[in-house]
Amino acid sequence: MNSAEIRESFLSYFESKGGKRLPSSSLIPDDPSLLLTTAGMVQFKPVFLGVKDLGFTRATTVQKCVRTTDIDIIGTTGRHHSFFEMLGNFSFGDYFKSEACAWAQEYSVDVLGLDPDRIWYSIYEDDDESEVIWRDEVGVPADRIVRMGAKDNFWSAGPTGPCGPCSELYYDQGPELGCDSPDCAPGCDCDRYLEYWNLVFMQYNRDEDGVLTPLPKQNIDTGMGLERIAAILQGVESNFETDVLRTLMGKAEELTGVSYGSGEKSDISLRIVADHARAVTFMIADGILPSNEGRGYVLRRLLRRAVRHGRLLGRTEPFLPAMIDLVIEQMGDAYPETVEHHDLISRIVDAEEQRFGTTLRQGLVFLEEEVATLLREGKTEFDGVKAFTMHDTYGFPFELTTEILAEKNLTVDSAAFTREMEAQRDRARAAVKDESWNTYGGAFSDTLSSDGETEFVGYESDVSDATVVAIIRDGEQKVSLAEGETAQIVLSRTPFYGEQGGQVGDTGTIASSGGAVFRVDDAVIPLAGLVAHKGVLEAGSLSVGESITASIDVLRRERIRRNHTATHLLHWALRLVLGEHVKQSGSHVAPDRLRFDFTHFEAPTSEQLAKVERMVNAKIMERHPVRAYETSLSSAREGGVTALFGEKYGEFVRVLEIGNFSKELCGGTHVSRSTEIGFLKITSEGSVGANTRRMEAVTSFDALEWVEREEREIDETAAVLKVARLDISERVSSLVARVKELESAAQATADSLSETSVIEILEHVEDVGYPILVARVPDMKATGLRTISDNFRARMKGGAVVLAAVDRESGKPILLAAGGDEAVAAGFNAGTLIKTMAPHIGGGGGGRPTMAQAGGSNPEGIDEALKAARSLLGLT
Ligand code: SER
């Protein structure tokens, strides 16, 4: 059976057992505790935990998975992969151990036709029940049931979450593949016993302290590796020799010219290229882009490893896009998302491969020199500080440095590398540390612990009564503030939005009935829960405990609100126009403008930008309601909310909804109807690093002002051009054409010879039955020679010319001979002349009797060429 047949056979078998056939879920799990989808059960985690009910209790899937914990092993064995497919059957509080075991046996033996005498069964060390089931219900020989500890037979998807004891099926591939150790048995590291199916009896939930609590129901989660079962069924020793992977390795062989089996090292590289090509294809198809953190970094690492192993195989030209094409050809039927995003995947891979090529070239040169020095000095450990420099200066991955050194049996001082990394992190942290953290950290945490959090009322109100909780000046708490003094004030309650989530802080005033006026220039959040009002006391005096009225600058806030809601609209439109991979990676929402950073791998076209702008403006005008509400993180996710990757959210989150099309987690302040934004104008768009773009835009009055400014510019241009506004482009095109014309005329003048030199040269006209001029003229553009020849001949009745010059631009010699009919009748032949002359200037050429030209490479030969012409013409 090939892979496609195995998939279908598995799904239909478990469908026949009442399982609902479900599609594979995305490699990006809907679960903040996991970076990538690593198993079939990931999409069912909430169901196992009892917080979600699917409305059915049996399911079966073929799940795409990525695991990179074993990345260093991949390629060195026949059974480890970064990307693989897991065949699974699941029970949510429905069937349990008996059915799971019986069906695993029936499917293995009766459907797939595995030899029952070769199957072994492992069970968790104290799981007597499973032993009874295997032996007495399924009827397998007792001596083929082995007990193993938690490492092998207790399964969990991560440090926390649903888990349970498991039972695994092993296939005995025969002693030929064994290690000959007397202890060799299932679980041994050698290739003899291949674990192909894991039946997990999902019974517990593990919390952060490692405590197991029984789940509300007993569940089944099984996982069979498609590549492993394919290897068994296809009778090959390694997963890499099964249909799909073997074809991919074939492509890698073709691209590198290295055949599989020709060496241990090159075999590893071929396997890595084939394996990683699949992971890369599927990760990008699910919306992951290469970056320096999180899953984007996993992707980048796989991509770069694949490229490097391609190079180890001798391939220096880009090759990954060709691998990707074949992955999609092989697997696109089962995973249409790869076909849909084919173009995107190829472009990203291509760009990343090129970028890494440069990095590699620079880094390898550096590393080679360093290694040579190291060996000369007789050392074996590479300096960790240098490895850091390579990482920092060349973007050369540390893992790669380690790998390359290991290939030469050298090590690297990784402790020193880590120290440097930490030091750099500290430096970066210190550099960005907000001054309030630095100087006032102590005072703020004291305030927070003695007085609690600031109550934020700014969603509903612009003005609020409150009391002064703390006055912090130069890092210390003060009881009062005198006129002219600056400080940060903490209030019991505030309408001021402290800068957060890209939205700038509010400005405004804090005033007391006693005449104190504190001007708030900025509001910040020095510690979660506290708002600090930064500013200066302009009048009166203010003390802790005093009652005040805090009022924000309402008009400014209004502008901020418009811009904030506009960023959500932009995010929505960008995802529709450019694709689902677009994610917000930062933003700055100020009163007068907004900035929106997002992930995308190339410059959007002007049509795409225009479309985004039009879509946003349509949504503005459609007058959609904008609503905010608090809910639990899990129900927000179920409602399809867009959460920002990498952000940590508490259990309760605020969802901001525009109409029924945009839903984002957001704590900011927003308009209540989209119409309030007025309209939006994108003012710029550009790249700010690999795969990150930055867009700037203005809304409402600022957009109006922007348009007015552009209009003024157009008016002024129209006035200068003396045309109507709508005729500007036409007039400018004709002006540009005219300028070009004038430029080439000027060039022609510059190329022609001055009148004096023409007269001077004409003095050399000789007579061979017709007037002939053989001359070298000053350097000029090749095209100019022709004009000059016409010029001369116009002044020499019935004459002919043989001219030579050097092309001013290329420095190469040029020849031209031309004569009228009269001269030709009298024996002149331009073609013959040029043919005779051309070899002297290292060139070739020819033409008709009336006109011939030649170019060459050796300007030194011009005199000889002219001499040859003279002798042919019978001149001395
Ligand atoms: N979740 C288990 C595994 O990944 C069985 O599917 O092995």
Q: Which two tokens stand for residue 496?
A: 């001021």
**How many angstroms separate the alpha carbon of residue 39 from the centre of ligand 1?**
6
Residues 6+ apart with CB under 8 A from 801: 772, 773, 774, 775, 789, 792, 793, 816, 817, 818, 819
Q: Which two tokens stand for residue 158?
A: 């991560």
Give the number of the atom of ligand 1 that is nearest the alpha carbon of residue 88.
6
d(CA 65, CA 90): 16
Residue 130 phi/psi, 5° resolution?
Answer: -65, -35
Q: Return the pLDDT at 650.
A: 56
Residues 6+ apart with CB under 8 A from 353: 303, 307, 318, 319, 320, 321
| Side chain identity at residue 166, one-letter code | C
- Regarding the beta carbon of 642 and ligand 1, being less than 6 Å apart is answered no
**How many angstroms separate the alpha carbon of residue 62 from the centre of ligand 1?**
12
For CA atoms 436, 441, 442, 447, the dihedral sign is positive
Q: Return the pLDDT at 434.
A: 29
CB 356 within 8 A of CB 364: no
CB 601 within 8 A of CB 348: yes
Mutate to test the pocket of ligand 1, among 10, 41, 169 (most ligand atoms within 8 A of CB): 41
Question: pLDDT, tens digit, for every residue of 257-284?
Answer: 999 999 999 999 999 999 999 999 999 9
DSSP letters spanning 85-125: EEEEEEEESSS-HHHHHHHHHHIIIIIS---GGGEEEEEET
b/e burial code for range 112-142 (CB count within 10 A of at least 16 → b)? bebeeebbbbbbbeebeebbebbbeebebee
Q: Which two tokens stand for residue 79?
A: 């059974």
- Regarding the beta carbon of 861 and ligand 1, being less than 6 Å apart is answered no
- Regarding the beta carbon of 799 and ligand 1, being less than 6 Å apart is answered no
Cα pseudo-dihedral 728, 731, 733, 735, rounded to 10: -130
Residues 6+ apart with CB under 8 A from 844: 838, 854, 856
CB 805 within 8 A of CB 776: yes
Strands (E) across 671-739 are located at 680-687, 692-699
Residues of the chain with pLDDT under 50: 430-441, 645-648
Give the number of the atom of ligand 1 that is nearest the alpha carbon of residue 223.
6
CB 131 within 8 A of CB 123: yes
Mutate to test the pocket of ligand 1, among 122, 155, 170 (most ligand atoms within 8 A of CB): 155
Give the number of the atom of ligand 1 that is nearest the alpha carbon of residue 65.
4
DSSP letters spanning 149-170: -HHHHEEESSSSEEEEEEEEEE
Q: Return the pLDDT at 394.
A: 67
Residue 746 phi/psi, 5° resolution?
Answer: -65, -40
Q: Return the pLDDT at 189.
A: 81
Question: pLDDT, tens digit, for every residue of 115-170?
Answer: 999 999 999 999 999 999 999 999 999 999 999 998 889 998 777 788 999 999 99
d(CA 92, CA 326): 38
Q: Return the pLDDT at 649.
A: 52
For residue 449, how many other CB atoms are within 10 A of its CB?
8
- Regarding the beta carbon of 161 and ligand 1, being less than 6 Å apart is answered no
Let me know the angle formed at the C-alpha of 650 by 648 and 651, rounded to the nearest 5 degrees.
135
Query: 3-state DSSP: the chain helix, strand, coil percent, rounded to 5?
Result: 45, 25, 30
Give the number of the atom of ligand 1 that is nearest the alpha carbon of residue 199.
5
Q: Whose CA is nearest to atom 3 of ligand 1?
A: 223
- Regarding the beta carbon of 222 and ligand 1, being less than 6 Å apart is answered yes
Residue 606 phi/psi, 5° resolution?
Answer: -65, -30
- Regarding the beta carbon of 13 and ligand 1, being less than 6 Å apart is answered no
Q: Return the pLDDT at 545.
A: 94
Phi-psi region of 185 (alpha: psi -120 to 50; beta: other; left: phi over 0): beta
Q: Whose CA is nearest to atom 4 of ligand 1?
A: 39
Q: What is the pTM of this model?
A: 0.57
